[in-house]
Amino acid sequence: MSGNIRLLTDTLAAAKAEGRAALIAYLPAGFPTVDGGIDAVKAVLDGGADVVEVGLPHSDPVLDGPVIQTADDIALRGGVRIADVMRTVREASAATGKPVLVMTYWNPVDRYGVERFTAELAEAGGAGCILPDLPVQESALWREHAEKHGLATVFVVAPSSKDKRLAEITAAGSGFVYAASLMGVTGTRESVGTQAQNLVERTRATTGLPVCVGLGVSDAAQAAEVAGFADGVIVGSAFVKRMLDAPDHAAGVEAVRALAGELAKGVRGQA
């Protein structure tokens, strides 16, 4: 196992050894600007996130909600490029020594070239990639190059995934498994939380990989709740919303740093 993916697996193992879930943050590259996005990513890692996912902004982010779509739109209008995503990974990784992954839809990678993308991501110090819309049965080329460059390939599972399908997905993945669910509106959280917990249990039955949950978590109490059954708590929209709601860039950076600190307490059961 090369250094890039090892940093990720060691980080998740260290959180487990501490008897807690890992905190995984998400922010898109180029938002609100390339430099501003780098500041924000460093701030969430310094504030308490164990791992960060850097989003590659896409014009048709079908799996993202309105908050992340808004941020992607700002980044794209600002002219963000894949080179800027790689620079974000490089600077955040070098500054913090923590694992940085890229979360991207397949189309930009395919157009850029799989060999080129994986080589550049590894060279930038990236730990791997989350590919929410790449079907496992079409992933052989990606996995071959990711493995060659020591990158994790994180696939996404959903409550709708059947057990046989879960086993296929987890067998092909590395690093961790991203279990996607939704917290839902107030009043439905209890049932959706149960659904997410059930998905984690079903996924764990197929793999030894950590199972991390993206659930619409926005505060320390919710983070603590998800940390009770998952290996990692993934938070995206709440960080992006803090940046969008801030009066200026400096205030946004401090807001995401503070949120990371609150959520870090949550995953440690100190909420």
pLDDT tens column, 188-214? 456 667 889 999 999 999 999 999 999
The CATH number of the domain where 150 resides is what? 3.20.20.70
Spatial distance between the Cα atoms of 253 and 250, rounded to a whole number of angstroms:
5
pLDDT of residue 258: 98
Q: Report the alpha-carbon distance of residue 79 to residue 199 in Å, rounded.
A: 38
Is 84 marked active-site? no
Q: What is the structure's pLDDT at 188?
A: 44
Quote the pTM value: 0.95
User: What total number of domains does the chain contain?
Assistant: 1
Q: Which one, of 148, 149, 117, 150, lies nearest residue 134 by Cα?
A: 117
Catalytic residue among 64, 72, 120, 225: 64
Question: Active site includes 53?
Answer: yes
C-alpha 56/C-alpha 76 separation (Å) is 10
Which residues 6+ apart lie within 8 Å of 225 measured at CB?
193
What pLDDT, on the 0 to 100 scale, is given for residue 194?
85
| Ramachandran assignment for 30, one of left (phi > 0), alpha (psi -120 to 50 degrees), beta (any other) | left
Q: Which domain holds residue 126?
A: 4-268
pLDDT for the residue numbered 36: 97
pLDDT value for 193:
74
Low-confidence stretches of the chain (pLDDT < 70) are 1-2, 182-192, 271
pLDDT at residue 212 in the model: 98
Largest CA distance in the chain: 48
- Write out pLDDT tens, residues 177-194: 999 986 544 444 566 678
Predicted confidence at residue 269, as pLDDT, reads 87
User: Active-site residue among 39, 50, 53, 72?
Assistant: 53
